[in-house]
Amino acid sequence: MNNPEPRLARDDEPPVMGMDERSAWVQIFVFAITTSVYLFVVLSRVRVTPVEDVEWVAPLLWAIGISIVTVIVGSIISGIGGAMGLAMRGRDPDVELKSDSRDKDIARHARLRTYWVGSVLGAGTLVLAMLDVDTLWIGTYVFAISSAGAITDAAVRIRAYRRGFVA
């Protein structure tokens, strides 16, 4: 049985969210949750255990691993869901979900505006090392600013998609 040719969207149909915007939403939720959980777990231990005895490496690695895998898997699942919805309406997911020049411009716009998160806040790592604080605080700080960078990047992209931007 031949599938009918996918049709183009009519103007009165609501536009769908493209893959890049879907990924931004997944990224902001995943990093907010994994970072919060990591901080809750480690800081809870700090309250009842001497800092030098707190096990923080495994939770940190788990948080990083879960963040990366969940963003990838979540984006794929979100994309599949969007594609199935379009296909059921007879529309072409390849055409409507693809990345284009606006997505690239928005990604560049977000990179420029979140550069400071890594560069300025990253300098705080040096300060912590100079103060000779426990490695727990340095590792946690580096993870926190990495997450802040990912969350800021996603937030800037979502804002650009929703409200527009000037490249």
Partner 1 sequence: MSPKPTRVTNRIRALRAERDDLTQAELAERLGVTRQTVIAIEQGRYSPSLEMAFQIARIFELPLDDVFQYGEGDDH
List of residues contacting partner 1 (CB under 8 A): 8-11, 15-18, 95-98, 100-102, 105, 163-167
DSSP 8-state code for residue 6: P
45 or 159: CB nearest partner 1: 159
Beta bridge partners of 7: 91
Residue 165 half-sphere exposure toward CB, CA atoms < 13 A: 20
Instruction: List, in order, residues 6 or more apart from 150 with CB less than 8 Å away.
Output: 27, 28, 31, 67
Residue 113, number of CB atoms within 10 A of its CB: 17
54 or 97: CB nearest partner 1: 97
15 or 50: CB nearest partner 1: 15
18 or 59: CB nearest partner 1: 18
Rounded distance, CA 146 to CA 31, Å?
9
99 or 125: CB nearest partner 1: 99
Using CA atoms of 37, 42, 46, 49 in order, give the dihedral in degrees to the nearest 10.
120
Question: Measured from the CB of residue 84, what is the shortest distance to partner 1 in angstroms?
Answer: 18
Question: Measured from the CB of residue 74, what is the shortest distance to partner 1 in angstroms?
Answer: 20
Question: Measured from the CB of residue 83, what is the shortest distance to partner 1 in angstroms?
Answer: 14
Cα-atom radius of gyration of the chain, to the nearest Å?
21
Question: Measured from the CB of residue 155, what is the shortest distance to partner 1 in angstroms?
Answer: 16
Place of tokens 């960078």: 149
Question: Measured from the CB of residue 80, what is the shortest distance to partner 1 in angstroms?
Answer: 18
